[in-house]
Chain A
């Protein structure tokens, strides 16, 4: 028996959520969902674990803070001490208020860029990478559930298709891979 992948196409995010709920309640694992915009509340239904992007962003931010303070300390205190605006104290902690804006900006820069790039790499959507959505209509007005038979050994492709037909599905496509 060849492995099959089944695409159930829906016309509305709510109908898609109902369909996904029905599949999951019957013990069928949903591989992924494709949609033109984020569908609220789909993650817990198809069992997607929480993103760790926030933790990554925090790490990038902390890195930015440390780099900025290190740089400022080296440029303005250690390598070439500068007296700007009558603030010659020449210790990082004494001149700190003046360095906060730079540190803040650099923290935001590192966190934002690091987070965006991590996101693009993790999703394999860096510029030039091949598109992975099965149907171009998911970038317009269709919502697709993807189910793979080799992940659902207890169910035949026919059983899954029959179950999908009981939901308000628009069309069902099957493909070998």
Chain B
């Protein structure tokens, strides 16, 4: 069955974008302190959050291919629609990183190369920096020994190579899986089985890359904002957030399409299993979040504990709110079977969880990039979120409209239709 975007959906997403841009502009004008840095930080927050949802969906499709899971075949196109946002998400991230490289913003403190050198000659813009003391050199007052020690990893050429490799790999595989999926629609018999096995091998390959890149991209794009601080668990924690947001988005989207009568074969068992993914990934996130927090809290080492001290002391509402929404809420509300089979309930709880994970990204980026200048979520944050939400939904729906909403041919399609738990 084919999907066309309703006028209402188009109007709402366009309205969200316009309203969001207006709110953002009002927010920027209303903030007299540091609205420049704050705007760029918001661009990173929303760029990364929605990119993460698309990436989580790509990971899920690869996971289903590699494990040869049958029940998701019926809703496969929905996940493909979600990762259709990946190119736009990648563009936003590249724009933020480029602005960092050209020193338009200072989200990435370490991009300032003067921090790396112990000595300097001259002053102001003409100053030359060096590692060895030469004739007439004075000690560089901005020298940061901790950042200098990370030079082998955190330097711009290597950073850009890594970032482009991540984005290139993700976009290549997203394009590849989508093409394979569309090709399967017009194939039958042995060719179909062969293509499924090909997808199986390619997905396994992608998962190997993803295992490394999902961790390192979190270090590069998010953890390097707090350059002095590091946590070995950070990559998994960020990945769990992405995964959970993707699962939540998928179940909301499937329920929307089902309510419009476009996915008549999706039954209660599919919905319950998708709800289980939301439940399970919420626990994965909570587990990793708490593991990271507890070790840092327990060891109480100054260079580690500052990260949480700043967040707990200055933003207790955001921090505890995030933990409550992303852990306690799904645990209590999504535990029972009936809750996971109730569409209205699932959409409601899912929307709250999505906002919870967005707040989580705010907490990752804002205190590190704005310091004490970040007070709370304001009109600027909400406006930018609305604008990106409109763009995201619009892109996903447009991708969905490009192909039949359920796969036409797949060796496991029949099994997926009769899914029952």
Chain B residues lying within 8 Å of A100, measured Cβ to Cβ, are: 290, 294
Range class of the A interface residue count: 10 to 19
In contact, B300 and A97 (Cβ under 8 angstroms): no
Instruction: Please tell me if A98 contacts chain B, counting CB pairs below 8 Å.
Output: yes
CB-contact partner of B420 in A40, A54, A87, A98, under 8 A = A40
A-B contact pairs, 7 of them (CB 8 A): A58-B335, A85-B298, A85-B300, A87-B298, A97-B290, A100-B290, A100-B294
Task: Report the bound CA distance from A86 to B297 in whole Å.
Answer: 11
Tell me if B's interface is mostly helix, strand, loop or mixed. Answer: helix
Closest A residue by C-beta to B299:
A85
- Using an 8 Å CB-CB cutoff, how does the interface string of B84-123 with A read, 1 for contact, 0 for none? 0000000000000000000000000000000000000000
Chain B residues lying within 8 Å of A41, measured Cβ to Cβ, are: 420
Task: Report the bound CA distance from A58 to B331 in whole Å.
Answer: 12
In contact, B294 and A98 (Cβ under 8 angstroms): yes
Task: Report the bound CA distance from A100 to B337 in whole Å.
Answer: 27
- Using an 8 Å CB-CB cutoff, how does the interface string of B266-301 with A read, 1 for contact, 0 for none? 000000000000000000000000100110011110
Task: Report the bound CA distance from A86 to B299 in whole Å.
Answer: 9
Task: Report the bound CA distance from A100 to B291 in whole Å.
Answer: 10
Task: Report the bound CA distance from A122 to B290 in whole Å.
Answer: 37
Chain B residues lying within 8 Å of A40, measured Cβ to Cβ, are: 420-421
Closest B residue by C-beta to A40:
B420
- Using an 8 Å CB-CB cutoff, how does the interface string of B381-414 with A read, 1 for contact, 0 for none? 0000000000000000000000000000000000
Chain A residues lying within 8 Å of B420, measured Cβ to Cβ, are: 40-41
CB distance from A102 to the nearest CB of B (A): 12
Chain B residues lying within 8 Å of A86, measured Cβ to Cβ, are: 300
Chain B residues lying within 8 Å of A101, measured Cβ to Cβ, are: 294
Number of B interface residues at 8 Å Cβ cutoff, please give it.
12
Task: Report the bound CA distance from A64 to B336 in whole Å.
Answer: 19
- Using an 8 Å CB-CB cutoff, how does the interface string of A87-101 with B read, 1 for contact, 0 for none? 100000000011011
Q: List 10 other contacts, CB 8 Å, given A58-B335, A97-B290, A98-B298.
A: A41-B420, A54-B336, A54-B337, A85-B299, A85-B300, A97-B293, A97-B294, A97-B298, A98-B294, A100-B294
Task: Report the bound CA distance from A85 to B336 in whole Å.
Answer: 39
Closest A residue by C-beta to B337:
A54
Interface residues of B in 308-348 (CB under 8 A from A): 335-337
CB distance from A61 to the nearest CB of B (A): 10
Task: Report the bound CA distance from A54 to B421 in whole Å.
Answer: 15
Chain B residues lying within 8 Å of A58, measured Cβ to Cβ, are: 335
CB distance from B267 to the nearest CB of A (A): 12
Chain B residues lying within 8 Å of A54, measured Cβ to Cβ, are: 336-337
Chain A residues lying within 8 Å of B297, measured Cβ to Cβ, are: 97
Chain A residues lying within 8 Å of B337, measured Cβ to Cβ, are: 54
